């Protein structure tokens, strides 16, 4: 069966349940129908996969791979497709990045004929099956696939081998403010931390709590407990108003000035030092 005939059936028919097994067979040249052209190509001519869901790469692990490639070379070829003025990566971004870090001018590649849809699916499914994705990267990838491929959550769940509930809960992370999404990408917050934040109505509250979680290193259980409590502004103590009209009039008659009487204080107003001394005389507290 030709490449195009097999590719036309979709990834489910081609890859079965494990994309990584098929990728490995293609890279080893043992996958029937996928014996693409195998050659060394310039690293600088390979553009990244535009559908790569992974946004962050462990620099220490990349350096370890680069050191290995510098000494032993790349054992497994990358997968690419031809585009105008070069190639576009299908799979193998870590190997490509590490080869560039190792100052390798070329890299071995297998050239295949993949469509945009197939590249998008293979990039997502490969990373999910390897559990390489941060939950925020996964959420962004799901959203992209649903929008570009016009998929429902249920259809997407079948494609990637996840439950519809998992897809729905993960996609909700895209509604969080960008500052919180970045915190999740940087592993300052987990999915467990983010889930209760989504229930808050105001973005300002979400951001405030996200920063507090990161600063105080709060556990998921503590965050859930705190956010279950009603987030209301404490009401002011109820003041019981009494009628002090008679008392006020009596005091004003005695001191011949304005008096204010409340539940807990009496305020006597005066005008200047002479008036103050007059009032102090009436109170019999003026010094001789």
Encode the chain in three state secondary structure: CCHHHHHCCCHHHHHCCCHHHHHHHHHHCCCCCCCCEEEEEEHHHEECCCCCCCCCCCHHHHHHHHHHHHHHCCCCCEEEEEECCEEEEEECHHHHHHHHHCCCCEEEEEECCCCHHHHHHHHHHHHHHCCCCCHHHHHHHHHHHHHHHCCCHHHHHHHHCCCHHHHHHHHHHHHCCHHHHHHHHCCCCCHHHHHHHHCCCCHHHHHHHHHHHHHHCCCHHHHHHHHHCCCCCCCCCCCCCCCCHHHHHHHHHHHCCCEEECCCCEEECCCHHHHHHHHHHHHCCCCC
The verdict on whether 93 is a catalytic residue reads yes
Which of 93, 121, 137, 138 does the annotation list as catalytic? 93
pLDDT value at residue 271 = 81
* Average pLDDT, consecutive stretches of 10 residues, N- to C-terminus, the chain (288 residues): 41 51 65 70 92 80 91 88 91 91 93 82 70 82 85 86 90 94 92 91 93 92 82 50 75 81 84 78 69
What was the pLDDT predicted at 5? 39
Same domain (yes/no): 111, 21: yes
Q: How many domains does the chain have?
A: 4
Q: Does 14 share its domain with 43?
A: yes
Q: Are residues 121 and 8 in the same domain?
A: yes
Q: What pLDDT is stored for residue 8 in this prediction?
A: 37
Note whether 195 and 98 are same-domain residues. Answer: no
């Amino acid at each position: 069966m030709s490449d195009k005939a097999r590719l036309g059936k979709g990834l489910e028919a081609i890859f079965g349940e494990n994309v990584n097994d098929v990728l490995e067979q293609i890279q080893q040249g043992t996958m029937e129908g996928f014996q693409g052209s195998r050659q060394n190509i310039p690293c600088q001519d390979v553009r990244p996969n535009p559908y790569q869901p992974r946004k962050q790469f462990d620099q220490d692990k990349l350096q370890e791979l680069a050191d290995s490639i510098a000494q032993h070379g790349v054992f497994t070829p990358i997968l690419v497709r031809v585009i105008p003025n070069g190639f576009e990566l299908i799979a193998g971004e870590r190997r490509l990045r590490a080869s560039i870090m190792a100052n390798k001018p070329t890299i071995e590649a297998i050239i295949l004929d993949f469509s945009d849809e197939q590249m998008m699916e293979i990039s997502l499914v490969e990373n999910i099956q390897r559990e390489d994705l941060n939950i925020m990267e996964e959420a962004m990838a799901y959203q992209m696939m649903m929008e570009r491929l016009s998929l429902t959550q249920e259809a997407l769940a079948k494609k990637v081998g996840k439950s519809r509930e998992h897809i729905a809960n993960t996609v909700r992370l895209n509604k969080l403010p960008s500052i919180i999404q970045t915190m999740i990408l940087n592993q300052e917050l987990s999915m467990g931390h983010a889930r209760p934040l989504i229930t808050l109505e105001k973005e300002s509250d979400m951001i405030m709590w996200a920063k507090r979680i990161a600063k105080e290193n709060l556990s998921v259980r503590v965050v859930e407990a705190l956010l279950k409590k009603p987030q209301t502004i404490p009401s002011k103590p109820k003041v019981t108003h009494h009628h002090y009209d008679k008392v006020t009039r009596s005091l004003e008659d005695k001191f011949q000035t304005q008096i204010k009487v409340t539940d807990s204080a009496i305020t006597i107003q005066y005008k200047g030092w002479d008036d103050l001394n007059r009032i102090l005389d009436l109170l019999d507290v003026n010094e001789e």
